[in-house]
Homo-oligomer: A and B are copies of this chain.
Amino acid sequence: MYSPSDFPPFAVTVDLVVLTVRSDALCALLVRRGEAPYRGRWALPGGFVQVDESVDAAAVRELAEETGVSGLHLEQLGTYGEPRRDPRMRVVSVAYLALAPDLPVPVAGTDAAAASWVPVSEVGALAFDHARILADGVERARAKLEYTPLGTAFCSAEFTVAELRRVYEIVWGVSLDPRNFHRKVTGVEGLLVPTGGSTSRDGGRPAALYRRGDAVVLYPPLVRASGA
């Protein structure tokens, strides 16, 4: 049916949409390109899939190289394969979405001149079709917060209900009733595990600290509606 000699050759890359919540904004990890094309332009981090490496493994490797961390939630976002999305050759890119807590400022990777967290509302033109990929990633993240416990992926290991609520408010761009939100998230089986500790870093009554539970789906879901 086919043989190695008669298939059209493609390059396969992975691109990463790495999101975090910091400074009251949803931010994406972007790198400034050091080479042509789009030299000097912001782009998503990413790179080539190696010959003996699965595509998923390439995403994990690139994420570690760009952020210095591992163990983050990482999922496939989609594959982008327009013929001329890279002006030099035929490149098919598999995009991944990663949700991260507020990490230290990322180090510039080996491939990039600079790396930085940029609020998604302030992102301008990006290299290649990365603006589209980023938009798809942001929309996916917003949707996933409704019915998965992924909001906790934006929080550090121990967090308060108010911090989790801030994540939802920032990602969705709405305000949520603190009391209803508290009742809701503490009522979802397996979402939050009390650590017993508490903190009063915000000056009021100390808030209980929680760790992520082992729930993988949120039932009932958190509906994305006002509440202010």
Query: Would A35 and B1 be within 8 Å (CB), given that A8-B51, A10-B11 are in contact?
Result: yes
Q: Determine whether A207 belongs to the interface, using a CB cutoff of 8 Å to chain B.
A: no
Do A81 and B12 touch (CB < 8 A)?
A: yes
Contact (Cβ within 8 A) B51 A83: yes
Contact indicator B79/A94 (Cβ below 8 Å): yes
Decide if A48 is an interface residue (CB 8 Å cutoff): yes
In Å, the complex CA distance between A12 and B8 comes to 8
How far is the CB of A62 from the nearest CB of chain B, in Å? 14
Most buried by B among A1, A52, A94: A1
Interface string of A24-64 (1 = CB under 8 A from B): 00000000011100000000000011111111100000000
Could you say which residues of chain B place their CB within 8 Å of the CB of A34? 1
Q: Is there contact, CB below 8 Å, between A55 and B79?
A: yes
List of B residues within 8 angstroms of A49 by Cβ:
8, 10, 81, 92
Q: A78 at the A/B interface (Cβ < 8 Å)? A: yes
Known: A4-B89, A89-B4. A78 touches B76 (CB 8 A): yes
A9 within 8 A of B: yes
Query: Would you call B4 and A92 a contact (CB within 8 A)?
Result: no
**Chain B residue at smallest Cβ distance from A221:** B221
How many copies of this kind of chain does the complex include?
2
Instruction: Kindly identify which residue among B33, B79, B88, B89 contacts A76, using a CB–CB cutoff of 8 Å.
Output: B79
Q: Are A10 and B8 in contact (CB under 8 A)?
A: no
Contact with B along A93-135 (1 / 0, CB 8 A): 0100000000000000001000000000000000000000000
A90 interface residue (CB < 8 Å to B) = yes
Chain B nearest CB, measured from A221 CB (Å): 9
Report how far A94 CA is from B51 CA in the complex, Å.
17
A12 — which chain B residues lie within 8 A by C-beta?
Answer: 8, 10, 12, 81, 92
Indicate whether A55 sits within 8 Å of B90 (C-beta atoms), given known contacts A1-B35, A10-B10: no
A interface residues, Cβ below 8 angstroms from B: 1-4, 7-12, 33-35, 48-56, 76, 78-83, 88-90, 92, 94, 111
The 8 closest A-B pairs by CB, nearest first: A55-B81, A9-B9, A8-B51, A7-B11, A1-B35, A79-B79, A10-B12, A54-B82
